[in-house]
Structure 1
Amino acid sequence: MSRICVYLGSREGNSPAFRQAAHTLGTALGQRGHTLVYGGARVGLMGELANAALNAGGSVIGVMPDHLVEREQAHFGLTELIRVPNMHERKATMAANADAFIALPGGIGTFEELFEIWTWGYLGLHDKPMGLLDTDGFYAPLLAFLDSTVSHGFLAQATRDMLLDAPTPSQLLDALEAELS
């Protein structure tokens, strides 16, 4: 099966739907035999996702820079925790260990990771599928903005179409798995 990199918050957010989506996605990854690749934290949505994948029998690879091991409270119960010297190495290591990418709700770190991996795809540095899990409409304003960039001529429709989106973990995993096969 595939290794799926998930970008998401180290906080829980203010809706129980976010935590539930992380739990459901982690469980589905484990049950479907995928390996989870993520930022390596045991807190927030990141911890919920990793614990759910592990509890469902999945393998989980965390990647965390040395300076964040204590700050983000690294998860030491993973299948593998890769420590790297900096954030650039973290993103590169996560990308190198992944066959597909998903973004759940999160903050500026999640956005930065998502846009960088999408840019890498646009530039032809990878051809791996990417998707947004639009839990509780979290990404609806961003999706509308991205569609607006197409209508204003700053983004090609083909580039916009590279970024899949779905409201549920199972729908998004189905779409990514179809792209992977």
Structure 2
Amino acid sequence: PSMYSADRVAYLRNQIGKRYGCDCVGLIKSYYFGGVGSPKYTANRDYNTNAIYAAAPKKGPLSSLPEVPGTCLYMKGYVGIYIGEGWCIECTLGNYGDGVVKTRVAGRGWTNWFYCPFVEYPGSSDDTPTPAFQKGDKVKVKPGSKTYTGGKLASFVYQTIYDVLEVSGERIVIGIKGNVTAAIKADDLVKQ
């Protein structure tokens, strides 16, 4: 990229075939894609920083950060991973180090925390109440979800923000501009 000096580009080119590299969200994706070489890669879970934050099933301001290692940290355009006791790991370049580094959470600029939509957190399924949806709410479908009756959804469905058109208990009908896309279980939707 143009942001790198000629020396940096030369260094990186010299690392081809010798080392593995990733950016901030790539560090998180390498976990849920199964590590080096991404043996569990699926395109519908290949999110950038803002998309992975938007799809989070649970999130909050940094002031409410839970003491749960593996919780993701967020600032616009950048993510890291909380490891506990006020520390995180992140993949960075510059003043905080080069590569995967351990840094203090405080003073780093993090604004929010979130649970990665593709990682199961201890107790997260027990303590996260199903949100109450109302007609007109904006929602996204959690990646990997199915229709209310168990049918498959097209991959683009997970990338789109929908309107709630109808609510009937756990059955939520979603669509765009009044046109029905699908009926989905409430637990498979995230408010936007």
Give the TM-score taking structure 2 as reference length.
Answer: 0.30
Task: Identify, as 1 or 2, the structure richer in strand.
Answer: 2
Compare CA radii of gyration and give the structure with the larger one: 2
Task: Identify, as 1 or 2, the structure richer in helix.
Answer: 1
The higher-RCO structure (CA 8 Å, 6+ apart) is 1
Give the TM-score taking structure 1 as reference length.
Answer: 0.31
